[in-house]
């Protein structure tokens, strides 16, 4: 792979992870609400749905950001975004689904292309 491609993957990995954290970090406060009010799109209960979402939007993006187990960490993020696009926003217009689809596509590219040049995975 050309050096510029490796740098591009690094930029994509860092950029998408930071943007995903922007959506996930505010949800952490929901863990401390009583009762927990969170969507339950796959029928596992609001608490489990919130925990799975936090894994997909906070824990895994942090791993991806610093480049630890990058490819493996993209899988929960991709699943979270596909659930958001096609289940949570399944009956909504495309504009409502678009951001989740774009996130899924970006993390699919990271899954296929790897972490790029500057990551712990590459050390």
Q: What is the pLDDT of residue 4?
A: 79
CA distance 88 to 96: 10
Digits of tens for pLDDT over the chain (123 positions)? 666 788 899 999 999 999 999 999 999 999 998 888 899 999 999 999 999 999 999 999 999 999 999 999 999 999 999 999 999 999 999 999 999 999 999 999 999 998 988 888 876
Q: What is the pTM of this model?
A: 0.92
* CA-only gyration radius of the chain, Å: 15
CA distance 32 to 51: 12
Domain locations along the chain = 3-113
């Amino acid at each position: 792979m050309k050096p510029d491609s490796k740098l591009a993957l690094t930029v994509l990995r860092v950029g998408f992870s930071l943007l995903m954290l922007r959506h996930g970090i505010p949800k952490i406060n929901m863990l401390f609400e009583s009762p927990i009010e969170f969507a339950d799109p796959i029928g596992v209960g609001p608490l489990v749905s919130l925990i799975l979402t936090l894994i997909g939007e906070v824990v895994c993006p942090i791993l991806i950001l610093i480049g630890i187990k990058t490819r493996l960490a993209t899988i929960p993020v991709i699943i979270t975004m596909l659930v958001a696009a096609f289940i949570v926003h399944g009956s909504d217009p495309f504009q409502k689904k678009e951001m989740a689809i774009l996130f899924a596509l970006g993390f699919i590219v990271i899954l296929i292309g790897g972490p790029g040049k500057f990551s712990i995975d590459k050390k």
